[in-house]
Structure 1
């Protein structure tokens, strides 16, 4: 996907550009190309960016360490403010308190918007934090096909005894 020159976007029909996506995003390991669309609309002092896209990624189960495929679906919308002062160097302290209203994305009104980078970020935000191949995944099984819930090392015995004393 090519970068969008923001001033050129004001001359587009309805000040909107819609990009059909069917490609692999750099840095995102997927089995299938990312398919969907990204819509960028210029509203004077901000961009309204939205996307509907999906792909399939290979995850590793946190319990049994087996790999499984996961459908990654993005349905995102974000407002990106346009601010002339974005590229100006500011002499700010290394540490400072930031108000919630300052936690917004900003771009220069004379700069570029990179839809592939934005879509990559949205895809990464949708990756599951807790990766489980199945809700009832038993975890790592020993050679006899039993779950390894029992401590193998005798040093864990006191922890196992404490665990049995806890309710439920």
Structure 2
């Protein structure tokens, strides 16, 4: 996907660019290309960006460490404010209070919007923070009652185990 020059959007019908997505996105490891639709509309002092997209990614289960495939779906929209000071360096103090209203995306009105970067961010936000192959996943199974299970323990603890055996009951 190519970057969109923001003033160019004003020349389009309804000031809207519709992008059919069917490609791999740099930095995002997927099994299938990302497929979907993005729409970027110039609304005067902000861009209205929306996307519906999906792909399949491989995740590792947090409990059993097995890999599994997960369908990643995004149905997102966002307003990106156009502000002349968006590309200016921040000269303020390193530590300061930030109002909730200031926590918004901004771009310079004469700048570029990068749809692939925006879609990458939305897909990353849609990745589940708790990755489980199944809601009933029991995790890694360790059976301490098998004769060979002693090999599973850390040998550095063997000296402590021997010392414990020498202590009175």
TM-score range, shorter chain: 0.7 to 0.9
SS in 2 for 1:76: strand
Partner residue, 1:115: 115
Partner residue, 1:85: 85
Partner residue, 1:162: none
Partner residue, 2:127: 127
What displacement does 1:85 show? 1.2
Q: Whole-Å Cα distance in 1 between the matches of residues 88 and 72 of structure 2?
A: 37
Question: Do structure 1's residue 102 and structure 2's residue 102 form an aligned pair?
Answer: yes
Partner residue, 1:158: none
Q: Deviations over 1:27-76 (max 9, x none)?
A: 00000000001100000000000000000000000000000000000000
Partner residue, 2:36: 36
Q: Whole-Å Cα distance in 2 between the matches of residues 55 and 89 of structure 1?
A: 36
SS in 1 for 2:2: coil
Partner residue, 2:75: 75
Partner residue, 2:23: 23
For structure 1, which runs of at least 5 residues remain unmatched after alignment? Answer: 147-151, 155-168
Q: TM-score, with normalisation over the residues of structure 1?
A: 0.84
Alpha-carbon distance change, 7 to 93 in structure 1, aligned in 2, over 3 angstroms = same
What is the RMSD computed on CA atoms of the aligned residues? Answer: 1.7
Number of equivalent positions: 148
